[in-house]
Structure 1
Amino acid sequence: MASTPENSALSSGLAALKQKDYQSAIAHLEEVCQLELDLSRVERAQIGLVTAYAQVGDREKAIAIAQTLTHSRNPRSANWANKTLEKLSQAATPQKTADVTGFVPMASPPAKPSFSLKRQPKTESAALTAEHLSTQQSETETRLQLDSNPPPSSEPPLTRKPSELSQQNRQWHQAGRAQRWGNLPQNISLVGSPQLLWGLQIATAIALFWWMRFTFRYGGPKINDLLLRLPLVNPLGFLYQDPTQLFLAILVILAVGLPWIVTGLLKFFYESQPLPLETLSAYSPDAVRTLQRYCRQRRLALPQLQLLPNPAPLIFTYGHLPKTACIVVSQGLLEQLGEEEIAAIYATQLGQIVHWDFAVMSWGVLLLQIPYLLYLQASIWSEKTSDRFEHPFLINLIQGLGATIASLMYGIYWILQFPLLWLSRWRLFYSDAEAVAITGHPNALIRALLKIAMGVADTVAEDNSARPKRDKSTRWLLESFNFLLPVGYKQALLFSAQTSDRTFEELLAWDLRNPYRRWLVALKGHPLLGDRLSRLTHYARFWRLEPELDLPSPPRPFRWTQTNLQQWATTTTQQLLHNAQAWPLLPSAIAYGCLGGLALRGFLWVVGKISYELYIWQLVWLSQDKLGYLFAACWLICFGVYLLVRINSYFPEVTATNAKTERDVLKLQLSERSLPPQSTPIRLVGKLTGQRGIGNALAQDLTIQSPAGPIKLHHYPLLGPLAYFGSGFPQPGAWIGQTVTVTGWLRRGATPWIDVEQIRTRNNRTARNYQPIWLTLMAFAVVAWAAYLIWTTPAT
């Protein structure tokens, strides 16, 4: 950076060193080492510190800093450090003093960190050791800064484990970072002003409360109406009450206790532990310097650091204030990412803290934990309880009740997500831009995001039968905290080991060029990965760096001119009118239902007005719909008719001659023109993975591991959780880990998936998908409902 305080301190320190004012030089150069991110300037300061400490007689500190410089990537600095270290070692003659009894005291070993990682043999790329923390500092000071004075220790230093994604043999360009950087101009960052993000956070909080209240007030009476029709069951009185005060109290309690509640959940369910700074420094000293320097510049408290003993590369931040912010990282991320990549991904979390979006998102995610944990506990309880009985009737009864409750809670968890989607997507663009401004290294962030996607894909693809407990907890963590993760676990599946022979540019082609990608990502919690990486590539080119990937630059920010507005309106209208060519069947039916409903209602209104003028009193009521019954009926009619017309073409017959195999699957997934309505019949053989047992009663977590890579399965059983009340019904959740044959229709939206026709095991057990039947029944039901509304419309 051109004129920062760190550069001024470096110049002052070197000038004091020339004037032989060693104490002043040490003070200035130590400040540079603590705050500066540019490694070349840090090394210059360290060289000066070695000289200064040697001149004042503090050889131990000089030797410690020289040892750090021996691992420099700059050959000149490393050679200088080796020669200087040899001279200092020869000159130093440490002796242990003995008392009159002849006893020689030994140096006390430093305190061990509270969390112990597996130690690896020391390598040439060893990072700063744990001994770089001064044992003379207080506990609070230790969290704020790392001192360069290492205490003597008999234990080998912690060294970072080499990055390993064992199943993916990819070549990385290792593109470098900027030598001079600063905040990105607004027209370059492509994210708009921070006020827009603040407005989106406020709108999200209001929408979340309103959505909860609307769902309860609308769904509660409907549930009671259903209970009234069932024998031996009474309606629930609280479902008729106004939930406003209750929901406000719940949201306030969650907001106040957020950091402590989430910490407890992570510790109890996922065994999280504190992450000492010295341990993080062993993996990435650059990350520690980034945290310290940025927090000091922004006058923020250093975030708490937590570590999850989880093999998947994960990182997220939670809290309600910057001083209560906590950054959680998994062991898999520390092991699979490089030093600069860890620092870059930590910088994204700092961006979320400074923009405060972490508070709203962690608040929303904590709310989602309530139904999600109830879903988990219901499925676990029913499985454990049913194992205690031998009578089939009791087993089926317990499993059926558990599956029903678990499915209901999972449905509530899924419904409550919608208000968080928009903020969850847009905030990542802001945090990416802030991370680049902090580190000046967009290429490291590109590699970090890609390695996270690859690591998550490989973790999800692991055989469940090998480590069922670990795999289940990983899946729970990925799903329940999905909105806080930098990469969605579903979008990561495309970056599995099976696709490692394809370039990243090929894997990201759909994200960058499909004309309907903005519509198809609307119901996703993460933006398209290609969109994010193209922005990072744009930042690299802005600083005249060689980008890690050869991606096109994103479009420039929208300008509110008459020409742009006309062009946007034309394009949007055309895509909306032709959504049948691009959208999945149900969203397309809803859109066409609205458009057709408006047109039909307008036609009926005109008929009513003409009838009034012509004194045809039997039709005048068509223009007098104060309660909106007719508009609802028109929408339902258009919606149902559209479904009936499109179902056969959306689910064409799958035969042995037209079904594609794994040789064509990857090509179809990567085609930039692929869209969901392009129903490609497919037949795949592979291992079925997902959650086992009752937790997967809705078949919501099924994936096939084929030679073309893992692909998500959309399966809709006929009875769903009710099938657990009886025996003999096929349960795909019980086939996890087995080799199966899947036939269905491959579709490509923001993520690829297969609409299942049937799943067949090797012993010829078959589970059929009843989605076309359910949609047909839905179409007839809504048309019948429309007829009822028309019949009951009051003639006024």
Structure 2
Amino acid sequence: MALLRGWEGAIAAALVIFLGVLLFGFSSALWSVVLSYGYGLRPVSLNELREYSPDAVALMDTLPWSWWQPRPQLRCIITTAPLIFSYGRWQRRVVVSEGLLRTATSEELAALLAVELAQLRQGLNTLMAPLVLALQCPYAVYDRLSRWGDRWAPPYGQGWGRRWGAITLYACCALLSQGSYLVFRGLEMLLFWTNQLRQYYSDRQGAAMAGNPNTLVLAWLRLMHATAQTVSTQGSIGGALESLRLLLPLNPTQAALWGDQPLDWGAIARWDGDHPLRHWFRCTSSHRPLGLRLRALMSYSRRWQLPCLLLVSPQPLPPLQRGWLQLTPLWGAIAGGLLALLLSGIGHFAVRVGRVGAALWWLTDWQTLGLGLSSIGVGLGLFLRINAYYPPLGDRPEPATLGQLLHRSLALPLDSTPVRLEGRLCAVTGLRNGLGQHLWLQTANGLWLLRCYKSWGAAWPIVQPQLLKQLQNRSVVVEGWFRRGTIPTVEVATWQCPDLKQTQQWGAPYWAVGVATLWVLYGLITILGWL
């Protein structure tokens, strides 16, 4: 509160108010500048839209418009990635990509447009669009510094002066770019719940405007397929889909996984809607779970006496057997906090007794005890589930498809299924993939998202940039553990490249042990007062 007093506080408050007014009052103009500079934003006339989707033009003509509900203007950005989003309150804009215009049918484009119009008419983007605009700042820093730092990536020449200068510039760019990316992802996670709530209301209103929920489902399936093709071509979902993720109809990473392989949508809906830990999983989901959204659309179809495209009705599930083990870090933190309260009470009682209990004075600091014991509890909880997370792979894990692995409606991330996959490695090279966030495997059955950890952890692409350049677009054989989550991934144990005759060993289990150990050590150091 001391910072809010005096001239310093007044200047800080004025600056915050100015930035808030600028962000929320002029977000439409700022969005237009950002999109024009980054993606070549251009206007789209109704005649041009009619060439792609007469149904979309008819939809806009049937809706009433007024000064309170101004008619939105259409814009297009130059990218092959399929995307559509909207922003603005008075100066409304609906932005589509050239990739979506060329891939979606007339009815599908009209259904996607209906959802965006529903968000604009209900004011659901009034808060989200300016906040996502603010997120473009750390993402732009990450993107620019990554591209600039790639100029100084190893290998280096023989001159010591030039070598150390290049190493210094590369290290600074790597640190700042990946730090900006982590800031972007952290701030993005704060908006997950708001985004899920926004989609809850917009899906129903958009389906009502479109007239048929099945058309919206088909449009989503088209988006998934087009996103998967984008990943296969680019090696990642791309900057447009990643930076604008919260404004898009679907999570692009999940859409790429679901997009080009047959899936049991009933099993996905049961996992999203009936799993006992579904609310826990939603904390890490940028969008409302797709299974819940599909189930809601099919319920609208039945209510409006329309045929249902998918069978995603809720079904009773057996009790969850190992849910307690999945949450052992949480139980450890709670147990540590309760133990700290108990010991603190004992310490206060001992101090009041007199000289006999004076030796227990250190137990009265319940804040230090709570932080230390909770950290130790988290570490012990991580230790308890390591064996479940990393079971033996066996001599030769059997190949599997994503549809087979997603069939279990009670699957947990710790239900690690050993898998063996063979396909083409799709990856972005350089600092844009500095934390291994864009590693995909294109197999005959579809795309898989990979997670790899070496002695440097997830930052191995920064230390060994040449490795990704050598393996990009080459055939690799991957063995690892499949993890079921909102975004299913494969944690890699080994991969082999027959073309280069190379075998890479990855150290995910060791990093899990290291992280758990650090939690315990941090708790002990806190209790001992060394921090």
Is 2:437 the counterpart of 1:676?
Answer: no
- Whole-angstrom CA distance in 1 between matches of 2:115 and 2:66: 16
Contact 1:534-1:551 at 8 Å conserved across structures: yes
Segments of 5+ residues of structure 1 without an aligned counterpart are 1-241, 465-470, 556-570
Give the one of 538, 545, 553 matched to 2:306. 545
Question: Which structure 2 residues correspond to residues 115-194 of structure 1 after superposition, within 5 A?
Answer: none
1:443 to 206, 211, 214: 214
Q: Distance in 2 between matches of 1:624 and 1:482?
A: 47
Q: What is aligned with 2:248?
A: 485
Residue matched to 1:407: 178
In 2, distance between residues paired with 1:541 and 1:619? Answer: 71
Of the three residues 473, 487, 510, the one matched with 1:751 is 487
710-719 vs 532-541, greater mean Cα deviation:
710-719
Stretch of structure 1 that moved more, 669-678 or 642-651: 642-651
Q: Which amino acid aligns with 2:91?
A: T
Per-residue Cα deviation, 1:588-616 (whole angstroms, up to 9, x for no partner): 52x12332123322332353366457654
* Alignment deviations for residues 430-488 of structure 1 (CA, whole Å, 9 cap, x no partner): 111111232322221121122212221222223x4xxxxxx66x611110000000011
Q: Which residue of 2 aligns with 1:128?
A: none
1:515 is aligned, of 263, 267, 276, to 276
| Secondary structure of residue in 1 paired with 2:436 | coil
Verify: 1:713 aligned to 2:450, yes or no: yes
The corresponding residue for 1:331 is 98
What is the alpha-carbon distance in structure 2 between the residues aligned to residue 593 and residue 483 of structure 1?
A: 33
Cα deviation per residue 1:281-339 (whole Å; 9 max; x = unaligned)?
222222123223324278522111111233332110122x2x21210112232233232
Selected match of 1:631 from 352, 367, 370: 370
Q: Report if aligned partners of 2:270, 2:312 keep a CA contact under 8 Å in 1.
A: no
| 2:8 aligned partner | none
How much has 1:514 moved relative to structure 2?
A: 3.0
In the alignment, is residue 661 of structure 1 matched against residue 399 of structure 2? yes
Aligned residues: 514
| Counterparts in 2 of 1:257 and 1:767: CA distance versus 1, 3 Å | farther
Q: CA RMSD in A?
A: 3.2
Q: Give yes or no for the alignment of 1:287 onto 2:23.
A: no
Where do 1:357-506 residues align within 5 Å?
A: 357-384=124-151, 390-391=157-158, 393=163, 395-462=166-233, 464=234, 475-497=238-260, 499-500=261-262, 502=263, 504-505=265-266
In the TM superposition, residue 620 of structure 1 has moved relative to its aligned partner by 4.4
Equivalence for 2:5: none
Give 2:7's aligned residue.
none
Q: 1:247 to 1:758 in 2, by over 3 A?
A: farther
1:275 is aligned to 2:44? yes
2:393 aligns to what SS in structure 1?
coil
TM-score calculated relative to the size of structure 2: 0.87
- 3-state SS in 2 of match to 1:686: strand
For 1:653, the aligned partner's letter is P
Deviation at 1:786, TM superposition (A): 2.2
3-state SS, counterpart of residue 740 of structure 1? strand
Provide the rounded CA distance (Å) in 2 between the counterparts of 1:494 and 1:723: 24
Using the alignment, how far apart are the partners of 1:784 and 1:441 within structure 2? Answer: 57
Where do 1:729-748 residues align within 5 Å?
731-732=467-468, 735-748=471-484
Is 1:352 aligned to residue 119 of structure 2?
Answer: yes
CA distance 1:389–1:768, change in 2 (3 Å)? closer
CA contact (8 A) 1:509 1:670 kept: no
Equivalent residue letter for 1:758 = T
- Cα 1:342–1:246 change in 2 (3 A) is same
The CA deviation at 1:678 is 0.4
CA distance in 2, matches of 1:578, 1:721: 28
Distance 1:782 1:720 in 2: 16
Shift of 1:670: 2.8
Counterpart in the other structure of 2:6: none
Per-residue CA deviations over 1:362-413 (Å, capped at 9, x if unaligned) read 1111111111111110111122455998558255444333222211111111
**In the alignment, is the contact (CA less than 8 A) between 1:304 and 1:327 conserved in 2?**
yes
Deviations along 1:545-584, one digit per CA (max 9) or x if unpaired, are 11222221699xxxxxxxxxxxxxxx9xx98x9644446x
Task: Give the 3 Å change call, closer, same or farther, for CA 386–779 of structure 1 in structure 2.
Answer: closer
Distance 2:66 2:408 in 1: 46
Gaps of 5+ in 2: 1-10
Question: What amino acid maps onto 1:309 in structure 2?
Answer: I
Q: Give the letter for the 1:661 counterpart.
A: P
Could you say which structure has the larger radius of gyration?
A: 1
Alignment of 1:557-706 (within 5 A): 579-582=323-326, 588-589=328-329, 591-608=330-347, 611=350, 616-618=356-358, 620-621=360-361, 624-625=364-365, 628-657=367-396, 659-662=397-400, 665-706=402-443
Note closer, same or farther for the CA distance 1:511–1:780 as it changes in structure 2 (3 Å cut): closer
Equivalent residue for 1:253? 22
TM-superposed CA distance for 1:506, in Å, is: 5.3
- Give 3-state SS (helix, strand or coil) of 2:478's partner: strand
Change in Cα spacing, 1:635 to 1:350, as seen in structure 2 (3 Å) is same
Identity of aligned residues (%): 28
Counterpart contact for 1:592–1:638, Cα < 8 Å: yes
Q: Distance in 2 between matches of 1:291 and 1:416?
A: 35
Does structure 1 conserve the Cα–Cα contact (< 8 Å) formed by 2:430 and 2:465?
Answer: no
781-790 or 351-360, which deviates more: 781-790
TM-score by length of 1: 0.59
